[in-house]
Amino acid sequence: MDTKLFVGNLSYNTSEEDLRNLFAKAGEVSSVSLIKDRDSGRSKGFAFVEMSSQTEAEQAIKMFNGFSLENRDLKVDKARPREERPYSGYDNNRYGQNKYNDRSRRSGGGKSSRRY
């Protein structure tokens, strides 16, 4: 059953408790996950809300898609599975080799070329 919903266009001030209280009007809320930036801890402006049944999830979409919360029109839809991100080629530590830890590859060479 698809009972997990994506909720987007949230104000940065919206809390998990605000979402839980709002979506409880459509039925029983199983969980709320407000997505936050890992460095700052600030909301990223979207969340996932899991309802206890398919019927309640569909009701929540009808009730809250386009609903104004803190002067923002919510975007509510069924959550899609997370997509795998393609490899960016930026990983310097691929295969356990880090070019910055390998003395022989550093500019200036190894111990023998040090000047004192």
**Among 1-5, 55-59, 101-105, whose mean pLDDT is lowest?**
101-105
| Superfamily designation of domain 4-78 | RRM (RNA recognition motif) domain (3.30.70.330)
- Quote the CA–CA distance of 17 and 33 in Å, as a whole number: 10
| DSSP string computed for 66-97 | T-EETTEE-EEEEPPPPPPPPP-S--TTGGG-
Tokens of 64: 């809250």
- Please state the domain extents for the chain: 4-78
pLDDT by residue (tens digit) across 44-97? Answer: 999 999 999 999 999 999 999 999 999 999 999 999 988 887 876 665 555 555
112: left (phi over 0), alpha (psi -120 to 50) or beta: alpha
pLDDT by residue (tens digit) across 18-27? Answer: 999 999 999 9
